Amino acid sequence: MNIVVLISGSGSNLQAIMDACTGGQIAGRVVGVLSNRADAYGLVRAAGAGIATAVIAHRDYDNREAFDAAMQQQIDAWQPDVVVLAGFMRILTSGFVRHYEGRLLNIHPSLLPHYKGLHTHRRVLAAGDRLHGCSVHYVNAELDGGPAIVQGVVTVHPRDDEQTLTEKVHKVEHRLYPLVLSWMASGRLVYREGKPLIDGDGAAGPVKLLF
Ligand code: GAR
């Protein structure tokens, strides 16, 4: 399975995916890493692993359509089976999303559909929630929308602050993305009629794993 990863920053999820490929957990390989920011540390991680990288800066384009078209051209040149958003912080056009329908994944640091958008950990703490986590989902044109495949659930302790919660959820993300990609590579996870099916079953909604 050819994996293309889109990043905007640190790329710790990218690192987890690269490690899972080299370690044999995912029957696939990362064939390209694209960033909209030239200073994203994930580019250093990818280059260090001998993986092709590209920078397509959104600021160089007049509008989202032109930016997405440039990205699509680069991504398609890498011939991906799956395109993985890993901390990629741009909103995508519906044309781009449609082009990759069923092979475009995102990870989001909340139990979707709760807390779409930014500052999820802060908002969870402000609301006094006892449970939090992250979701891997297929991407549709709605921001942080699209059907969730797997959710990693953590408990929020009274002593947690934004930093401890961020770290806790990040650790879970690093296990969740490789798991979902391993299922995709082995054929356990498929996309049918807009929904994820795991081992042929999709009726119960996302798989919830407690950490
Ligand atoms: C991750 O926590 C990911 O869930 C979040 O950005 C971080 C990237 O970390 N993504 C979103 O908020 C998308 N809406 P990383 O660069 O170290 O992988």
Kindly state if the Cβ of 11 falls inside 6 Å of ligand 1. yes
Task: Collect all residues with Cβ–Cβ distance below 8 Å to 110 and sequence separation of at least 6.
Answer: 116, 120, 124, 132, 133, 134, 135, 144
Please tell me the distance between residue 109's alpha carbon and the centre of ligand 1 in angstroms: 7
The confidence score (pLDDT) of residue 42 equals: 98
Q: Which residue of 7, 8, 13 sits with most ligand 1 atoms within 8 Å of its CB, as the best mutation to test the pocket?
A: 13
Name 7's bridge partners. 35
Is there a catalytic annotation at residue 157?
Answer: no
Place of tokens 């905007």: 8
The confidence score (pLDDT) of residue 203 equals: 75
The dihedral of CA 79, 14, 151, 132: what is its sign? negative
The confidence score (pLDDT) of residue 141 equals: 84
Q: Which of 108, 132, 137, 174 is catalytic?
A: 108
Per-residue pLDDT 10s for the chain (211 aa) are: 999 999 999 999 999 999 999 999 999 999 999 999 999 999 999 999 999 999 999 999 999 999 999 999 999 999 999 999 999 999 999 999 999 999 999 999 999 999 999 999 999 999 999 999 999 999 998 889 899 999 999 999 999 999 999 999 999 999 999 999 999 999 999 999 999 999 998 877 899 999 9
The confidence score (pLDDT) of residue 205 equals: 87
The confidence score (pLDDT) of residue 80 equals: 98
The confidence score (pLDDT) of residue 142 equals: 85
Minimal-distance CA residue to ligand 1 atom 5: 87
Q: What is the radius of gyration, based on Cα positions, of the chain?
A: 16
Q: How far apart are CA 146 and CA 46, in angstroms?
A: 28
